[in-house]
Structure 1
């Protein structure tokens, strides 16, 4: 599913350019993704579109600089590298408190038993992409084009 999300982001840098669900499914199938993976990704996106953003916005309003501790269920699904990248995004200010919670919520909604750092990166890109502002686009570019050999702490 995360590969499908990455493909969508690469193909449709702007939300305004995304076609409807059936057209997307056909394009994804033509790109070589299997039906199950396409269905899961499109369902995930639909759920994401229907999210009530008010609770996340409330987190931003009340936010104080505090580290996010992962719940044991979250920790058990994220690889060590994924946890490190999540904490890097959280502590660097790349994500607000609300976006950070959206990220972890969306990661936990996937069917993947083990979530790696690439998946965290891709879902973070989707969370920022959905935000649709200039700052989000700058962060997206940084995540996409950052040197992968640098330290994250």
Structure 2
């Protein structure tokens, strides 16, 4: 599923550039993706649209605030994912509404804790869905593959 999400990010400059779900499914199948992965990705993207609508509406009335994680959220996300989300929020990359969308989509992945590589792609897709301008350094961090960096 995550390969498909990265493919969408690479091949469609904005969510509006994506065709409807049926056409997109055919294009993804023609590109060599498995039907089960295509179904999972399209379902995840549908959930992203629903979560975005709910969280953006909520942000208009509630605003921001301090986030306290429920025990199940903490268990499913894991410490590393929660720390990364807090880092992105404190750096001004995620607003409170975007943070909630990221949390919702990360929890939708299922069993936890969420690996950092998957969380990075989740954040990337949330920012892409909002057509947010992504700074090159932030983009590099989100596309980081977890390999050890060499310092020169």
Structure 1 length-normalised TM:
0.77
Contact 2:127 2:134 in 1 (8 A): no
Unaligned runs of 5+ in 1: none
> Which whole-Å deviations, capped at 9, do the CAs of 1:49-86 have from their partners, x for residues lacking one?
23333113334xx324x3x3332212222344323322
Return the offset for 1:113.
4.0
* Cα distance in structure 2, aligned partners of 1:30 and 1:114: 33
Return the offset for 1:88.
1.2
- Structure 1 residue ranges (4+ consecutive) displaced by more than 6 angstroms after TM superposition: none
Contact 1:56 1:102 in 2 (8 A): no
Structure 2 length-normalised TM:
0.77
Contact 2:48 2:101 in 1 (8 A): no
Tell me the number of residue pairs that the alignment of Structure 1 and Structure 2 aligns: 142
For 2:23, the equivalent position in structure 1 comes to: 23
| Matched ranges for 1:39-78 at <5 A | 39-50=39-50, 51-52=53-54, 53-59=56-62, 62-64=63-65, 66=66, 68-78=67-77
Unaligned runs of 5+ in 2: none
